[in-house]
Amino acid sequence: MTDSVLTSEYTGLGGPDAAGLDDLLGSALSQGVPEDVLRGVTPWKKAMKLVFAGLVLSLIGIDIYNIDLAVNIAGNILCILGFRRLRRENWSFMVCSVLSSLAAAVNISRLVINCMGRRLELVRLVYDRLAGGVLMALMIATLVFFLAALKLVEKKSGIPLGMGFAKNVLIWYVVIRAMMFWYGYRQAQGVLPGHMFVFCVFLSAAIALCLHALYRLAKELEDPGYAIKASDPKVPDIAVIAALVAISVALFAGSFATRNYPDSWKEYTPDANASAITEELSKAPVLKFADPDNSGAQTPRKSGDTLEFEPADPVPAELLSMLTADELKHLQGSSRIYLIADQYSEERTYSVYAFVNGDEVWQLISFAWKNAPKASGSEAIAVTTTDKEDAFSGRMFCSIDGRPSVSEYYIPAGGRANYTAQDHSKSGQEGSTGHSGSTGSSDRTNSSGRSDRTGNSNTPSEIININEMLNIHYGGAGVDLAGFTIPRGAEDLRGYVLQKRVLEKDKLYSGLLMSYTHRTTDFMFPMHTAAEGYVSGTDQFSLAKRPFETDHFGTMAAYWYLPDLP
């Protein structure tokens, strides 16, 4: 369409040029305004629609296909667009506008940290935790100032509205949030058990009631809302949306580039020096706990149970063949070998052997995938260590295009620093029930190695702060994190960890031995490496499959009930 259309002369109906058409439109529309147009022409309603849509999206704390952060950012954008229209109306709306912008900035900064990937993954956990707290505070402040802004509009209009219900609901929302925060903190410390599902239900109800109450107030202010002077948008909505979406998408895409650990897979050549020791150890007798009542229990259930052992199959040569010659030398000449646990999850098998060799006990934890993993990418193993010097060793194996390959573990930045010394005599005693030999994907906070944490005396001072902050989040460290990346098309994936345990008071103690965190989907948002997935928790209330699942494989009780060593 060009000017020629508007300025062309028409015959018959007169010929509305540009000005003529304007006049004709003025008279053509003078008969009245249709209802839908009437509803659409108001400075108040569209702003309120944007604000409420934004608040709903910002308040969604549950994951929908792991896109909670994207949903929250969308909510922030809508809130910004809504509140900025009203910012000149009163100071409370202005504050809401600023708070929404801050919330968007915090969420986008989380995406920026995501882009740093594995280099900052433990920092990210701390930051995420802090950001979560800040966002919660911003949201509460936004709701409070929003209510205050509505109150000012009500005052200006002179039409009294019942605001008591909205105030009460808002107070309850804050109370529930505070309780969740406290409960989460205590739960992370291992003091309180269980999940927060009940809180989530109450919180959802409080959110729904809160929004309903505010929405009702906003609706009642529709007529007085005509007195609102919409602020001139210096930057049009579409530009704000485009900029924030572009930034978010770019950062989201950037996170994909750094979400895997460095790939160190190389072709595997067996160590010729190891074969003789492998053969010797694979013939040595192995004991395991007897199961006379055929209960399936691999360990005694409670103190005082009669300990009975029975012969088990020798340590498989395939398992031993994964070890290096140096590692095998630690095991060579072991006086006794115990099969401590032999467990299965849906996708993986695990086994734990204890090699008693003089004053030393070496535990060999191995895992193997039953089938090719469905998702490639970062995986992580968390191994409990007994003191700073007591590092573990281990490797991963797989077959890539039919070629046997091997990879060292990647210790994430701060992975070793994640260590916090434990007093094992205490942790063993207090946490020795319930999880022995179990393999499962939940209830990590009950695991013994986490719940009883004492003594940081062996921990280097420069890492204590990080640890303390992380402890708030996931309830204790005392673990080393080892990561690796599963290549695409990998088959026959397996690996092991060899670790020396300490002996004390003629008994052997151990905490949680190992957790295996697996990436379940290629679609991860926000980006987490497996190590992050492990420490940030995978048991949040979620509508979708989480990007990570963790098998917790604890055998502490099994060690606890080992007979006294000679």
Partner 1 sequence: MTERELVQLIREKNALGAQEFLRRYGALVRYVAEPILEDAGACEDCLQEVAHRVWDRIGSFDEERGSFKAWLTTITRNLALNMKRSAKPAESYEALDTELPSDSPGPEETAVKNAAAAALRAAVDSLPKNERILIYRRFFYNQSLAQIAAETGLSERAAEGRIYRIKAKLAEMLKEYRDDR
Q: Which residues sit at the interface with partner 1, rule CB under 8 A?
A: 1-2, 5-6, 8, 10-14, 16, 18, 21-22, 24-38, 40-43, 46, 81, 85, 157-159, 223-227, 229-233, 236-239
Q: Which is nearer to partner 1, 224 or 440 (CB)?
A: 224
244-253: long-range pairs with CB below 8 Å, 24+: 244/73, 244/76, 244/77, 244/104, 244/108, 245/77, 247/108, 247/111, 248/70, 248/73, 248/108, 248/111, 251/108, 251/111, 251/112, 251/114, 251/115, 252/70, 252/111, 252/114, 252/525
- What six digits make up the tokens of 148? 């205050």
Which of 435, 391, 384 lies closest to 554, judged by CA? 435
* End-to-end alpha carbon distance in the chain: 97
- What six digits make up the tokens of 464? 């204590």
Give the span between the Cα atoms of 500 and 563, in whole angstroms.
Answer: 18
- Smallest gap, in angstroms, from Cβ of residue 245 to partner 1? 15
- Smallest gap, in angstroms, from Cβ of residue 32 to partner 1? 4
Q: Which is nearer to partner 1, 80 or 95 (CB)?
A: 80
Report cis status (omega within 30 of 0) of the bond before 34. no
Strand pairing report for 286-289 and 309-312: antiparallel
CA-derived radius of gyration, the chain: 31
- Smallest gap, in angstroms, from Cβ of residue 421 to partner 1? 57
- Smallest gap, in angstroms, from Cβ of residue 157 to partner 1? 7
Q: Which is nearer to partner 1, 20 or 132 (CB)?
A: 20
- Smallest gap, in angstroms, from Cβ of residue 127 to partner 1? 33
Q: Which is nearer to partner 1, 154 or 452 (CB)?
A: 154
Backbone angles phi, psi at 138, to 5 degrees: -65, -40
Give the span between the Cα atoms of 41 and 18, in whole angstroms.
Answer: 24
Q: Which is nearer to partner 1, 47 or 113 (CB)?
A: 47
- Smallest gap, in angstroms, from Cβ of residue 57 to partner 1? 18
Name the H helices within 197-282: 197-220, 237-257, 275-281
- Smallest gap, in angstroms, from Cβ of residue 104 to partner 1? 16
485, 487, 493, 498 alpha-carbon torsion, rounded to 10° = -30
- Smallest gap, in angstroms, from Cβ of residue 158 to partner 1? 6
Which of 102, 113, 191, 109 lies closest to 140, judged by CA? 102
Q: Which is nearer to partner 1, 136 or 241 (CB)?
A: 241
Q: Which is nearer to partner 1, 29 or 250 (CB)?
A: 29
